[in-house]
Amino acid sequence: MGIKKTGAEIVIQAIEDQGVDSIFGYPGGAVLPIYDAIFQQDKVKHILVRHEQGAAHAAEGYARSTGKVGVLIVTSGPGATNAVTGLTDALLDSIPIVCISGQVPTHLIGSDAFQEADTVGITRACTKHNWLVKDIKDLPRIMHEAFYVARSGRPGPVLIDIPKDIQFAEGEYENLIKIKHKTYNPPSSIDKSAVSKVIELIQRSKKPIIYSGGGIINSGPNTSKLLNKFIQKTNIPITSTLMGLGAYPGSGKNWLGMLGMHGTYEANMAMHDCDLMICIGARFDDRITGKIDEFSPKSKKIHIDIDATSINKNVDVDLAILADCGKFLNEALNVIREKKINSFPAYDNWWQEIEKWKKVDCLKYKANSDVIMPQYAIQRLYELTKNKDTYITTEVGQHQMWAAQFYKFEKPNRWLTSGGLGTMGYGFPAANGVQVAFPESLVIDIAGDASILMNIQELSTAVQYRLNTKIFILNNSYMGMVRQWQQLLHGNRISESYSDSLPDFVKLAEAYGATGISAKKPKDLDQAIIKMIETPGPVIMDCQVASLENCFPMIPSGKAHNDMLLGDDVTDEQVSTAIDDSGKIMV
């Protein structure tokens, strides 16, 4: 039989038994018993955030960097509604987090009580599953079920809404960590004959490509190793989604760079012209496919995914395998071994074509000795941090795409960005979450001047816990990606996307008790980056970059992969008129 504990104690005990050592949260009336239980133990460390959205992103950062489940605790009403963006972010990017929310006492539910919100109703659409605990007897089971659902199959967020009287009530706790779920049982086996078919198709193909995604990262670091082995064996070129960066090393010889709307020319052209596409753990998102009826018209498509709803959702495929990516790669390597396949076709012609596309040098930009180009800033940041134990997070916008294009990731779990939901304000709290999990590592949030202000309050959190989180702001005084679209699609009417009245970021850092650094000229950049890295504690680096630079290459709306805009195509007309119009504010 179980041990007698209060509901609040059961919550903390279950978190401890699940192997989570740090949680993020913000107290309030409806979670006071849980905070009392937190106070009276020292196994689970609580990090006080400054806004519940920050708690959710920090839990995501913790989860994505460690591979464990992230946990946040929020109070009822506004505490829970503030967490909604973070939960939705985790849903779209398949990040396992458990949100514990307080609720008004059971007898007050439905009475519009103080700080009451229909939390399970509100979060039903942005969680994999949620529970309202109505009986203390159910709490231990629900706690462990929640962790199981969050991490199993395609991972994602879950929420447990616990009324205050349940937190006070006494119940019996049992460690149910190994309990089997009665309905939610994602695929654990794999169709071996289908895997053999994949190998046959590869052997017969002339222009194969691997298109990998976040599923490889979610499947664990070993899956990345299997992917590397698989590519070594087969010599297939590989591209990846934004979410999948780091699964295959950015310096690897088969790497084509990221694909999609701001992906490389070679990756998108190869996707368009391939005869065999092997999608592993990605989901044919609209930022990836571009115009759907012109998406890779000549290829046979294979899709490996743990989630049946992702298969044939946007693009119909020829062969689907419902399985964990790691299981698939392992089985694929087994087939190669068992069938004693010593060599695959060399794909010489295919590689020659790819080399031609690479020569376009799609990421080139005009160097400038007077103004820091944002691409150059990321390149220098990469060079000065690549040999360190570095984690990179980002906010959302141009800086995010430049980071994805110019920072090379060698290992999985090192790159954390809001891909699906595109949440501005994600990067900094997520970086704090990583830094809590890895206090000795270098954690840098590459930010924009607009995004960083969306969760800047988390600087207090970083200062309080002496986190060394660094914020590297590519400051161009614009919501750059919004402006880019306005320039290209809305007749260059720069509507409300100029960041007027920005704070002095150096003084802002100092006001919080952190360090502020700024760099305005290319010649000062390296020194400033080194100072940022070497200064202990949180640092904001305000890197003032060319304000009207745009992010290329780019697949415009309604266009196919082979119809990309390169930087050279657009600079003249569209962008130069932008420079005329707002010339006064220009560098």
Return the DSSP state at 261. T
Query: Which candidate, 452, 427, 430, places its Cα nearest to that of 503?
Result: 452
- Taking CA atoms, 262 is separated from 132, 495, 557, 564, 569, in Å, by 42, 23, 12, 9, 15
Q: Which of 308, 442 has the CB closer to other proteins?
A: 308
CB of 243 to other proteins, least distance (A): 19
CB of 314 to other proteins, least distance (A): 10
Token pair for 8: 């609040």
Residue 481: active-site member: yes
Mask 116-135, x = binds other proteins (CB under 8 A)? ----xx--xx--xx--x-x-
Residue 397 CB neighbour total at 10 angstroms: 25
Question: Please, are residues 173 and 8 in contact by the beta-carbon 8 Å criterion?
Answer: no
CB of 59 to other proteins, least distance (A): 20
Binding of residue 572 to other proteins (CB under 8 A): no
Alpha-carbon span 382 to 264, nearest angstrom: 18
Task: Tell me, by CB under 8 A, how many residues bind other proteins.
Answer: 31
Q: Which of 160, 473 has the CB closer to other proteins?
A: 160
Q: Which of 280, 488 has the CB closer to other proteins?
A: 488
CB of 179 to other proteins, least distance (A): 14
Residue 115: active-site member: yes
Binding of residue 490 to other proteins (CB under 8 A): yes
> Looking at the DSSP assignment, which residues form a beta bridge with residue 472?
446, 541
Binding of residue 112 to other proteins (CB under 8 A): no
Binding of residue 520 to other proteins (CB under 8 A): no
Torsion angle in degrees (nearest 10) through CA of 356, 359, 363, 367: -170
| Residue whose token pair is 């447990």 | 160
| Of the candidate residues 44, 74, 122, 149, the single one contacting other proteins (CB under 8 A) | 149
| Of the candidate residues 313, 386, 408, 411, the single one contacting other proteins (CB under 8 A) | 313
Helices (DSSP H) in 342-457: which residue ranges?
348-359, 374-385, 398-406, 427-437
Query: Which candidate, 133, 12, 34, 129, places its Cα nearest to that of 79?
Result: 34
Q: Which of 52, 60, 145, 549 is catalytic?
A: 52
Token pair for 212: 């990998």
Phi/psi for 504 (5° steps) reads: -75, 105
Alpha-carbon span 538 to 460, nearest angstrom: 10
| Of the candidate residues 45, 229, 291, 408, the single one contacting other proteins (CB under 8 A) | 291
Mask 81-110, x = binds other proteins (CB under 8 A)? ------------------------------
Task: Please tell me the total number of residues recorded for the chain in this structure.
Answer: 587
Residue 164: active-site member: yes
Mask 458-487, x = binds other proteins (CB under 8 A)? ---------------------------x--
Question: Please, are residues 277 and 301 in contact by the beta-carbon 8 Å criterion?
Answer: yes
Three-class secondary structure of residue 161 per DSSP = strand
Residue 114: active-site member: yes
Q: Which of 243, 373, 479, 481 is catalytic?
A: 481
CB of 430 to other proteins, least distance (A): 24
Mask 183-222, x = binds other proteins (CB under 8 A)? xx--------------------------------------
CA atoms within 13 A on the CB side of 239: 25
The residues that are catalytic are 52, 114-115, 164, 481
Q: Which residues bind other proteins (CB under 8 A)?
A: 120-121, 124-125, 128-129, 132, 134, 149, 183-184, 286, 290-293, 307-309, 311-313, 316, 485, 488-490, 556-559
